[in-house]
């Protein structure tokens, strides 16, 4: 192949049409995931990374839902199992089990924590008007973790508040 043939294969501006990719330019986006057959979601802007499940380094005397820590490019990241944190059954780790690493940055600090979930499912687009307040009737997920509910077809997705998820009480990691 000569250079002239290669030059013909180089795409020009406007040649590439990206099909099948849904670029969303308005509204809020959430990463949805599965916990015990229910869909939950977190603000996609807080998602640092989605990792496959690998057992982390255990921390002695930590609560059962703290699975340990990992070294993520020089940052020590605690790994919490959301199923255990919300007390919704015993986890079973499989090839679809993932860790969603969430980073929440504020003016004072940046906090990165990984959460083990059963599987990642989709990206949800929801305008503020689509988000409904969660009724206060109790449930397995404490109310302060719930940011709202969104109807998606016949299902309801629970939006979780990342700031509340990352607010660890001091005694929990001792």
Check residue 68 and give its pLDDT. Answer: 95
Per residue, the 3-state secondary structure of the chain, as one string, reads CCHHHHHHHCCCCCCCCCCCCCCCCCCEEEEEEEECCEEEEEEHHHEEEEEECCCCECCCCCCCCEEEEEEECCEEEEEEEHHHHCCCCCCCCCCCCEEEEEEEECCCCEEEEEEEECEEEEEEEECHHHCECCCCCCCCCCHHHEEEEEEECCEEEEEECHHHHHCCCHHHHC
Check residue 137 and give its pLDDT. Answer: 67
CA–CA dist 5, 8 (Å, integer): 5
Check residue 138 and give its pLDDT. Answer: 65
Walking along the chain (174 residues) 10 residues at a time, the average pLDDT comes out as 56 47 62 93 94 94 93 94 90 93 87 94 91 76 88 92 79 46
Check residue 18 and give its pLDDT. Answer: 46
Check residue 106 and give its pLDDT. Answer: 79
């Amino acid at each position: 192949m000569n250079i002239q043939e290669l030059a013909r294969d180089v795409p020009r501006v406007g040649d590439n049409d990206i099909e099948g990719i849904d670029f969303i330019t308005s509204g809020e986006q959430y990463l949805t995931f599965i916990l015990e057959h229910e869909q939950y979601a977190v603000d996609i802007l807080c998602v640092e990374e989605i990792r496959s499940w690998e057992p982390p380094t255990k921390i002695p005397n930590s609560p059962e839902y703290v699975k340990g820590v990992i070294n993520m490019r020089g940052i020590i990241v605690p790994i919490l199992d959301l199923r255990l944190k919300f007390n919704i059954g015993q986890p079973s780790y499989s090839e679809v089990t993932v860790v969603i690493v969430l980073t929440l940055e504020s003016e004072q600090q940046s906090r990165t924590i990984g959460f083990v979930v059963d599987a990642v499912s989709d990206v949800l687009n929801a305008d503020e008007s689509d988000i409904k307040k969660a009724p206060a009737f109790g449930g397995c997920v404490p109310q302060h973790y719930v940011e709202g509910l969104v109807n998606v077809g016949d299902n309801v997705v629970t939006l979780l508040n990342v700031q509340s998820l990352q607010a660890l009480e001091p005694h929990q990691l001792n």
